[in-house]
Structure formats: C-alpha cells, structure tokens
C-alpha cells in the first residue's frame, strides 16, 4: 500500500473543500468541478461530487457512507487478488482520463474501497494538477 486517505461524498465539493483549506490548513493538489484533493503535510482528504459517474449506481448520495482510496503500484494485480476474495466488485477495473486505473469493491457496512494506480492523465486533465 502506498497511500490511504478518505474521500467525502458531498453535494457541494468546492464549498466543503474551501472549509478544509480555510479552517484546517489543507492545500489543493488537484481541482476540477467534481473532485478536489487536499493535503496538509502527510494528511490527505478528497472531496467528491456525490453524483459523479465514477461512483457505482446505488451509492451516489451525499454523506451516506465512506469511500476509502488505497493507492497501489499495480491495480490490475490487486484486482486479480481481490476478485477471488468474495468482496463485491462495484466498479470493474478501468482506466480513467483523469489519470487513474482503478476498481471499486464494497466491504461490510456498505463502505466502498477504491483501489487506484496512477496513470498519465489525458491532456484535458493535465492542467488541473498543481
């Protein structure tokens, strides 16, 4: 595991992120209108539009649950390993133009875990990175 940080699903990502910047000393490290990554030293937090298409259908609601991201070196290998674990796969392994190869599994309690490998982003997302 390379990284572990929470992602908070909300209706108003910019407003929520701004509170963490202003009140808790976080800084933006990536920003679009639907996803904002924040960091304060070694601590990370992401704020996500609760209706975005990368969230599996049936889980697109604000503050209903928690989506935890785990960054790895090889998402394909982790997908193969976790697929036989019995955890429900809620989003199959795929590459995203915003710079991720990922898949999502559900753990008990309805919590989603997004296993992510960073890949080069498409040109339209490259400028969004700080």
What is the pTM assigned to this prediction? 0.69
Strand partners, 10: 49
Residue 64 is predicted with a pLDDT of: 61
The count of domains in the chain is 1
- Contact (CB, 8 A) for 17 and 30: no
Chain CA centroid to CA 12, Å: 16
Q: How far apart are CA 20 and CA 105, in angstroms?
A: 27
Q: What is the mean pLDDT of residues 70-74?
A: 92
- Contact (CB, 8 A) for 54 and 98: no
Domain of 80 in residue numbering reads as 3-126
Quote the mean pLDDT of the chain. 90
CATH number (domain holding residue 7): 3.10.180.10
> What pLDDT digit, counting tens, does each position of 6-62 carry?
998 988 999 889 978 886 688 999 999 999 999 989 989 999 999 999 999 999 988
């Amino acid at each position: 595991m390379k990284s572990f940080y929470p992602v908070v699903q909300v209706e108003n990502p910019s407003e929520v992120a701004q509170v963490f910047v202003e009140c808790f000393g976080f800084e933006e490290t990536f920003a679009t209108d639907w996803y904002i990554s924040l960091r304060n030293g070694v601590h990370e937090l992401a704020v996500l539009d609760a209706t975005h298409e990368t969230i599996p259908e049936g889980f697109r609601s604000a503050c209903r649950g928690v989506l935890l991201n785990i960054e790895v070196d090889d998402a394909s290998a982790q997908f193969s390993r976790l697929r036989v674990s019995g955890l429900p796969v809620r989003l199959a392994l795929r590459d995203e133009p915003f710079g991720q190869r990922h898949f999502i599994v559900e753990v008990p309690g309805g919590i989603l875990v997004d296993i992510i490998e960073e890949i080069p982003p498409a040109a339209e997302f490259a400028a969004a990175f700080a």
